[in-house]
Amino acid sequence: MKNALIATLSTHERTLISHLNKPYTELTEATGLEEATLVKTLLSLETKGLLILKTTKKTLIDTGVNGIRYARTGLPERKLLSILKPHHPLPLLEAQKVAGLSENEYNVSLGILKSKGMISLDQGAIVLTASPAECMKKTLEEQLIEKLPLVKETLTPELVPACIALHKRKDIIELKEHTERSYTLTPLGKELAGTTIESNVLEEVTPELIRNWQGAKQFRAYDLSLPVAPLTGGKRHFVNEAIEKAVRIWTDMGFTEMTGTMIDNEFWVFDALYTPQDHPGREMQDTFFLPLTRPLPETKLIKRVQQAHEQGIVGSTGWQYTWSPKKAQQAVLRTHTTSLSARTVATLKTDNLPAKYFAIGKVFRNETVDWSHGFEFYQTEGIVIDEKATFCHLLGYLTEFYTKMGFEKIKFVPSFFPYTEPSVEIQVWHPSKKIWLELGGAGIFRPEVSAALIGKPIPILAWGQGFDRIIMDAYKITDLRDMYRNNLKQIRTIPRGGLHG
Amino acid sequence: MAKVQFTTQALAKNLSLTPKAIEEIQNMGIPAELTPEGLEVEALANRPDLYSLQGFVRAVQLYLGKRKPVDYPVLKPEKIHRIIIKPEVAEVRPFTVGAIIRDLTITSDILETLIDIQEKLHKTIGRKRKKCAIGMYPAEKIAFPLTFTAKKPKDITFTPLGATKTFTAEEILTTHPTGKEYAHLLEKAQKYPLFIDATGAILSMPPIINSADTGQITIATKQLFIECSGNHLPTLHNVLALLTTLCAELGGTIHGITIEREKETSITPQLTYTKKPFSLEHANALLGTNITEKELPKLCEKMGHRYEKGQIATPPWRIDIMHEVDLIEDIAIAYGYEKLIPTLPSFATTGNESDKRKQERKITDLLIGLELQEITTYHAITEEEKNKYHLKALVMEGAKTEYKYLRPNLLIPALRVYHENKDVSYPQNFFEIGTVFDEQGTECTHLLITASPGTITHMQQVVAYLTEQLQFPLVLKSHPTPLSIPGRSALIIHNKKEIGYAGEIHPSTLKNAGLKMPLSILELDITEFLNQKA
């Protein structure tokens, strides 16, 4: 134990131990260490259980630059007092000249004497009110200056206000923090104190040391139980880490990524998805509108979409209203990534089927912000375009994805969206909260959507779930706002791969 | 979507809220939750028939097999029960439909039900009365036949509900609380719509308000007259069907009204079942099931429909059936989603990430190697930020938070991040890859790299490193840039094109931003790099 301890001692510590039978005040000289190094070394020996360091902080009062001068010439108020005579009021302007005081000194002196009740001012003249005996007596300030240097903590109570008053004035006194140290040895310290330990131990391995290595030298052992400064490495933001994981799952499942702009027109965000133009979701209350328009696609497609809305296509009754191409041009921030799916489907040729696509992207809703809502969030989107696709396949793809994301129990319940039928809502079991989490919607694109986009009512399995809730859950974040706050302490320390491995 | 509360007491007569029953309700696709008061239900937008207790009970009892779909007979209108639509109203609110309800004892509970359903339908499918406004009147106080017409505002005077004296139309729209709320619906109208009875009395001025004399139903009301007016006839029929079938469920009888419009006459409400062709083969193919024709009638009845060989007849209160797929979904719900087996098809496709993502990852990997921390910020900036840095940015209209403009660069959000973390340990070296927007809404992908503390030399090194590693030539050209120290800032040039800037941020900018550590940055449009084949 003792030997193991000795092995960890640094050169300074070894030197210091040989002098530990001396009082603190002699240590600097005895060891040749600078005070700062000495204190550090003592602290280190304290943690190693050799001694207890006692530190007392004191405030030393000493004379300042002006204080030294006034000690010689007297304080300004004394000068002023000395030229005043009883029953001879002295005009203010004259008094300053006679006393030979600077403007500042004069004003201070007037204030002090007035506050002590030794003078009063009457019609622009100074009247001495103090008795000659009072004038003779030294003021508390003068008494204090005479006694300097003093330790503030030892001042008699009547001198404390004088000290405060003088400290307020320019450079008359100085207050200095002064630390007094001493130490007492522990039994282990007593055992080692004064002993000479081989102090020529090696610290760092340097190129020079390697070059000159001759063997048989001792390295100091490091105490590995001591805390070290933390590292902060370069790291992906956990939100993007989670997205990368989801991207990998979709590509593993044979899906191709779709990309596109966040600004799009209402045509692709709503109309192509059979959402009627008076749908409440298309109002400013829910959607961010931009003071822009974006051109519509080719005429055939517009006509099919218009017909789907106005009188219905492929056996549908349609929404039965007059569809406005002008409204369809209005630019918005996409409210879902399904606009990317619509654009992708519109470019497909039926002989390229089956095809599978995914996207993970930001979507925007005009919401106020709180712990569970934001005005932008991620959505994970997918479509499967396949003549033989079934609703059970849709459930199959979603089960596969969410199982790979780490959810063990998945449930499907009926739901409603304007552009899918049948529609379904995905719920996953949260084992620790013991609740079903609602993740979002999916379904088969309505024939009014698919027939308008590719000219034929081919089944298109489609889904678009909010992704932020999953990220929050995986990284144990309780406030959605933390995902975009970039609190460094959080993003530096949040464990990598929090998304279920 | 509407949240609807049903008290345990009200439900008790028809439904016991056992865990099994709650589960079945959820299987119907109706989010339902037990509360201390009873049951809270979310009626989705396609099912306004669930907004009332009676409608909800009807749907659940059908689903549980406790009742069969019923007909709602409409009795032949009496001769005087007519509404004559005048051409004057065509421009402002062209359509109306109506019905008379008799034999309904209006208790205070029923009165509350009627007012509540009216409000919910107004809000949802009525699109806040724009598409459909509902009026309910004590029929015994009205002299039929009625005229639906429109008059100039100055020629309209009556006592509106909630008032004791007569108002002009203008006064109603400017001083009456309901009038003020809905005045915008008549904003551009030259003439305002009116229901006028045979004596010339004004019954109501839709979609704003009824008359206090004849337009308020109470528990003393013996016969109910219901009208719906608006600009979309199919919606009016749907709303009237929902209201009249509800009244029938409450115990009333439904009597028709003749609607005369120019030379056409029709009788409303129209409460027959609507037949649509239905192919079981389609249904099984789309769902991936093996449902037999024998099972079909029962599955249909669970959702309120009737199956008749190759056809499904839909009740008038199911207003959401537009296409065969809607019926297929109903069959799936009746069959039970929980019985559907998730299956993966056997065909193979190859997956692929976008080139954009692959290219971005090249950059990301390099920057993490340089020990930079990735940040990810909002795509929007605040009004204050926009003004402070004199930026041009595209406005997000009507934004409800302080973030009102799309970000024109990544630096401003990063300064926000530095401010947020000003007391966290340094160095703080960040990067972000993200979309930025100009005033025309053009989107570019930018790369931002920051070092704090950091110098322009640091950024020179990064530029050289990226040039080498990405094989994407970037050259710094000394040039003053906003916010940076002159002589320590540069444009970043790629093949003679300016694509970014680098600089040591000026202390005055840092102080102004509330930051205390030196900061150097570079911001670069990497759209061209991302468009390269990965």
Tokens of B410: 């990544």
What residues of chain A, 77 to 96, have a C-beta less than 8 Å from chain B? none
**Which of the pair, A200 or B120, is modelled with greater confidence?**
B120
Instruction: Please list every residue in chain A whose beta carbon sits closer than 8 Å to the beta carbon of residue B367.
Output: 234
Clarify whether residues B170 and B229 are in a common domain: yes
Q: What residues contact residue B141 under an 8 Å CB cut-off, 6+ apart? A: B213, B214
Q: Which tokens belong to B364?
A: 């990301």
Q: How would residue A501 be classed by pLDDT, with cut points 50, 70 and 90?
A: very low
Rounded to 5°, the CA angle B460-B464-B469 comes to 145
Best residue of B396, B424, B450 to probe chain A, by most A CBs closer than 10 Å: B396
Residues of B in contact with A396 (CB under 8 A): 342-345
CB contact under 8 A, B425 and A232: yes
Check whether residue B46 and residue B169 sit in a common domain.
Answer: no
* A212 touching chain B per CB within 8 A: no
CA distance A107 to A77: 10
Q: Does B285 touch chain A (CB under 8 A)?
A: yes
Cα gap B255→B78, rounded to integer Å = 8
CATH number for the domain spanning B425: value is 3.30.930.10
A129 and A255, same domain (yes or no): no
Q: Same domain, yes or no, for B399 and B316?
A: no
Distance from CA of A160 to the nearest CA of B (A): 38
Structural tokens at position B3: 């949240």
Residue B267's SS3 state is: strand
Residue-wise pLDDT tens digits, A369-412:
888 889 999 999 999 999 999 999 999 999 999 999 889 999 99
Say if A493 is an interface residue toward chain B (CB within 8 Å): no
Regarding whether A447 and A307 lie in a shared domain, the answer is yes
- Residues 302-331 in B contacting A (C-alpha not used; CB under 8 Å): 322-326, 328-329
Inter-chain CB proximity B357 and A375 less than 8 Å:
no
Question: Cβ separation of A396 and B326 shorter than 8 Å?
Answer: no
Residue A131 is assigned to a structural domain of this protein: yes
The pLDDT assigned to A268 comes to 98
Q: Which of residues 303-342 of A touch B (CB under 8 A)?
A: 312, 314-318, 320-321, 331, 333
Same-domain check for residues A320 and A468: yes
pLDDT digits (tens, 9 = 90+) for A100-126: 888 888 888 888 888 888 888 888 888
Q: Find how far residue A193's CA is from the centre of its chain.
A: 47
Q: Which amino acid is at B531?
A: N
Whether the complex's predicted ipTM surpasses the cut of 0.90: yes
Distance of CA B299 to the CA centre of its chain: 30
> What is the percentage of chain B residues whose pLDDT exceeds 70?
100
Residue at B348 is within a domain: no
Q: Which of A204, A228, A252 is the last residue of a domain?
A: A228
Asked if residue A440 belongs to a domain, the reply is: yes
Q: Which of B337, B362, B366 to mutate to test the interface with A (most CBs of A within 10 A)?
A: B337
Q: Do B398 and A414 touch (CB under 8 A)?
A: no
Q: List, in order, residues 6 or more apart from A212 with CB less than 8 Å away.
A: none
Residues of chain B found within 8 Å of residue A363, distances taken between Cβ atoms: none
Question: Measured between alpha carbons, how far is A251 from A435 in angstroms, rounded to an integer?
Answer: 30
Enumerate residues 265 to 284 of chain A having a beta carbon within 8 A of any beta carbon in chain B.
278, 280, 284
Nearest CA of chain A to the CA of B154: how many Å?
A: 31
A369 backbone φψ class: left, alpha, beta (φ>0; ψ -120 to 50):
beta
Whether B45 maps to a domain, the answer reads yes
List the CATH number of the domain containing B243: 3.50.40.10
**Residue in chain A nearest B366 by alpha carbon:** A234
Once rounded to an integer, what is the mean pLDDT over residues B186-196?
94
Domain boundary residue, one of B268, B296, B315:
B268
Q: Are residues A325 and A456 in the same domain?
A: yes
Q: Which pLDDT tens digit goes with each residue over A6-36? A: 888 888 888 899 898 898 989 889 888 898 8
| Token pair for A370 | 């709180």
Q: Is the predicted pLDDT of residue A318 greater than 90, yes or no? A: yes
- As a whole number of Å, the end-to-end CA separation of chain B is 45
Question: What pLDDT is recorded for position A112?
Answer: 86
Which residues of chain A make contact with B373, given a CB cutoff of 8 A?
Answer: 232, 234-235, 237, 488, 491-492
Distance set, CA A236 to CA A209, A355, B524 (Å): 40, 31, 19
Q: Is residue A233 part of a domain?
A: no
Cβ distance of B344 and A397 shorter than 8 Å: yes
The CATH number of whichever domain residue A86 belongs to comes to 1.10.10.10
**Does the residue A280 lie in any domain?**
yes
- A500 within domain boundaries: no
CA angle B330, B335, B336 (to 5 degrees): 95
- Phi first, then psi: give them for residue B515, nearest 5 degrees: -105, 155
Q: What is the residue whose two structure tokens read 């207003």?
A: B319
B48: containing domain: 2-63
Contact list, B354 vs chain A (CB under 8 Å): 257-259
Q: Specify whether B219 is located in the same domain as B179.
A: yes
Rounded to whole angstroms, the Cα distance separating A148 from A173 reads: 9
Least confident of B9-18, B90-99, B114-123: B9-18
B468 lies in a domain? yes
Q: Are residues B388 and B442 in the same domain?
A: yes
Average pLDDT, chain B: 95
A182 CB within 8 Å of a chain B CB: no
| In the predicted structure, residue A500 carries a pLDDT above the cut 60 | no
In this structure, the answer to whether residues B284 and B428 fall within a common structural domain is no
pLDDT tens digits, B74-106: 999 999 999 999 999 999 999 999 999 999 999
Which of A119, A138, A157 lies at the terminal end of a domain, its last residue?
A138
Q: Mark whether B180 and B43 lie in a shared domain.
A: no
The reply to whether B343 falls in a domain is no
| B144 and B43 within one domain | no
Specify whether B252 is located in the same domain as B305: no
Establish if B343 touches chain A: CB-CB under 8 angstroms: yes
Token pair, residue B432, equals: 């972000």
Name the pLDDT band for A499 (thresholds 50, 70, 90).
low
Q: What percentage of chain A has pLDDT greater than the value 70?
A: 99
Give Cβ neighbours of residue B148 (< 8 Å, ≥ 6 apart): B83, B84, B85, B86, B89, B96, B193, B194, B195, B229
B213: closest CA of chain A, how far (Å)? 34
Q: In angstroms, rounded to a whole number, what is the distance separating the alpha carbons of residues B363 and B352?
A: 19
A374 and A296, same structural domain? yes
Q: Helix/strand/coil (H, E, C) string of A14-32?
A: HHHHCCCCCCHHHHHHHHC
- pLDDT at position A75: 87
Q: Is B260 exposed, middle or buried (0-12, 13-18, 19+ CB in 10 A)?
A: middle
CB B476 within 8 A of CB B484: no
Q: Specify whether A288 is located in the same domain as A211.
A: no
Domain shared by A97 and A13, yes or no: no
B93 lies in the same domain as B141: yes
For residue A234, tell me if it sits in a domain: no
B346 is a domain residue? no
Note whether residue A498 is domain-resident: no
Q: Does A247 touch chain B (CB under 8 A)?
A: yes
Looking at every residue in chain A, the average pLDDT score rounds to: 90
Asked if residue A451 and residue A401 are part of one domain, the reply reads yes
The confidence band for B129, taking pLDDT boundaries of 50, 70 and 90, is very high
Distance between CA atoms of residues A499 and A245, nearest Å: 8
Highest mean pLDDT among A215-219, A436-440, B518-522: B518-522
Check CB contact of A436 with chain B, cutoff 8 Å.
Answer: no
Q: What is the pLDDT of residue A292?
A: 96
Residue that is last in its domain, among B215, B236, B268: B268
In the predicted model, is pLDDT for residue A355 greater than 90?
A: yes
Query: A24 and A133: one domain?
Result: no
Q: Which residue has the higher pLDDT, B376 or B45?
A: B376
The reply to whether A150 and A19 lie within a common domain is yes
**Of A228, A253, A281, which one is at a domain's C-terminal end?**
A228
- Report the alpha-carbon distance of residue B62 to residue B64 in Å, rounded: 5
Query: How is A345-393 classified by DSSP, letter by letter?
Result: HHH--GGG-SEEEEEEEEEE-----BTTB-SEEEEEEEEEE-TT--HHH
Query: Does B344 reside within a domain?
Result: no
Task: Report the pLDDT averaged over residues B237-253.
Answer: 97
Domain count, chain A: 3
Which of B322, B350, B379 is opposite residue A362, by nearest beta carbon?
A: B379
Residue B149 lies in a domain: yes
Q: Which residue of B has its CA nearest to A484?
A: B377
- Residue B35 is part of a domain; what is its CATH number? 3.30.56
In this prediction, residues A225-243 reach a mean pLDDT of 90
A122 falls within a domain: yes
Instruction: Report yes or no on B341 lying in a domain.
Output: no
Is the same domain home to A154 and A212?
yes
- Interface probe with B: pick from A283, A392, A427, most Cβ of B within 10 Å: A392
> How many domains does the structure of chain B reveal?
4
Tens digits of residue pLDDT in A254-294: 999 999 999 999 999 999 999 999 998 898 889 999 999 99
- State residue A226's pLDDT score: 82
Is any Cβ of chain A less than 8 angstroms from the Cβ of B352? Answer: yes
Q: What pLDDT, on the 0 to 100 scale, is given for residue A69?
A: 84
Q: pLDDT band for position A328 (50/70/90)?
A: very high
Q: What counts of helices (H) and strands (E) characterise chain A?
A: 23, 16
pTM: 0.82
What was the pLDDT predicted at A155? 83
**How far apart, in whole angstroms, are the C-alpha atoms of residue A340 and residue B354?**
13
Residue range of the domain that includes A195: 1-72+146-228
The answer on B126 and B28 residing in a single domain is no
On whether both A310 and A397 belong to a single domain, the answer is yes
What confidence score (pLDDT) does residue B457 get?
95
Asked whether residue B130 falls in the same domain as residue B263, the answer is yes
Q: How confident is the model at residue A131 (pLDDT cuts 50, 70, 90)?
A: confident
Yes or no, beta carbons of A315 and B324 under 8 Å apart: yes
